[in-house]
Homo-oligomer: A and B are copies of this chain.
């Protein structure tokens, strides 16, 4: 499903965010991406999402070399990828419900689907009562859950989650992790960055550890560190 071949990403100022990374993630896998702050986890995700392009190496998503993707095809790639961003990236001018609905409207889902799916997913992340609020009227954790809801709502093939529990209390985190697990069981490939050792150690899934841009560990049924 996802394959990185010798991928190197160098930001300006010669910051090597990812160095010769190789990884092969099968369909339906659940992968934790761990590593210290600034080790390149978000960069890994941004590369899969075509938000950044690698300086060297090739990246395959769903069998396609996304480096060769023509410009106008990028949105179609992204529709197959749900993404929970570390900084949420909510649309400030839309309500919670509209933010989630947007992901469905983008792929042209009919109105009745939007009308049933959006409240359902908001219920799932525990935000049904905030559906009409604007993002700036939400607490940090609530914003994060909106971001999660938006990434889930169109049942993507791949789910990229960048610290989806960073702003959540332990019990809400557990709820979110259950949700992620359920989604993973329906066949969705999940890649999740996290700093939460508890979650990684409980779930015991594949762990890829980064350090200064290098993959230093790739372990099935691994622990945090």
Using a CB–CB cutoff of 8 Å, the interface residues on chain A facing chain B are 11-13, 34-38, 41-42, 86-87, 132-133, 137-142, 144-145, 162-163, 166-173, 195, 197-198, 224-225
Contact = CB atoms under 8 A, between A and B. Distances in A.
* Copies of this chain, tallied across the complex: 2
Contacts of A42: 139-140
A157 B170 CA distance: 31
A130 to B, nearest CB: 8
A86 B167 CA distance: 8
A142 B37 contact: yes
Interface centre among A87, A140, A163 (most CB of B within 10 A): A140
Contacts of A168: 37, 195
Given A139-B42, A166-B167, A167-B166, A36 B87 contact: no
A141 B37 CA distance: 5
A35 B87 contact: no
Interface centre among A87, A172, A195 (most CB of B within 10 A): A195
Given A36-B169, A172-B36, A87 B140 contact: yes
11 contacts: A36-B169, A36-B171, A37-B139, A37-B144, A38-B139, A38-B142, A86-B167, A140-B166, A141-B195, A166-B166, A166-B167
